Amino acid sequence: MPTTFVMVTDADVGAQELFEISLDIDMHVSSMKQSGEHAIAGRTSGIIGLGETVTWRARHFGVWFTMTSKITALDRPSLFVDQQVRGPFKSFVHEHRFEPLGDGCRMTDIITVASPVLGSVVERMLLVPYLRHLIAKRNEHLLAALH
């Protein structure tokens, strides 16, 4: 059974700004330098849109992985969803929500992941902590780029 976790980031920038930069392939690549992540097929730069795919190549846990994601929902500037259509996970869905909050916004990442091996044990012990760290670093990078 897949595991879902939520990360909430409050930002002092507008939801529209944060939404747009979150769809930017080049910004994602620059936020994932530690894993050598790069886009190798589909949309490989610029702003990805509804129905488009991107294939990522990255090194995690010392192993090179390839994953193709598709934007399966997009409601500018409040929501988009990327979902693995081919890759290392049994399933992977990342819902990005943006809502105005005072002079800024709240970005909520809802991630549902299913491990291809050992199920929930691997998800809870390894994948969720690792993905939390990656998403936190990515969000910090996006906010820094907007300042």
Q: Which strands, in side-by-side order, build the sheet including 38-42?
A: 3-11, 104-114, 91-101, 79-86, 63-75, 53-60, 38-42
Instruction: Report the mean per-residue pLDDT for the chain.
Output: 93
pLDDT in tens, 84-95: 999 998 999 999
Q: What is the mean pLDDT of residues 26-46?
A: 93
Provide the token pair at 106. 């709240």
pLDDT for 99 beyond 90: yes
Percentage of residues of the chain with pLDDT beyond 90? 78
pTM (2 d.p.): 0.93
55-85 burial: b if 16+ Cβ within 10 Å, else e? bbebebeeeeeebbbbbeebeebeebbbbbe
Fold of 3-145: Alpha-D-Glucose-1,6-Bisphosphate; Chain A, domain 4 (3.30.530)
pLDDT for 121 beyond 80: no
pLDDT for 55 beyond 90: yes
pLDDT for 79 beyond 80: yes
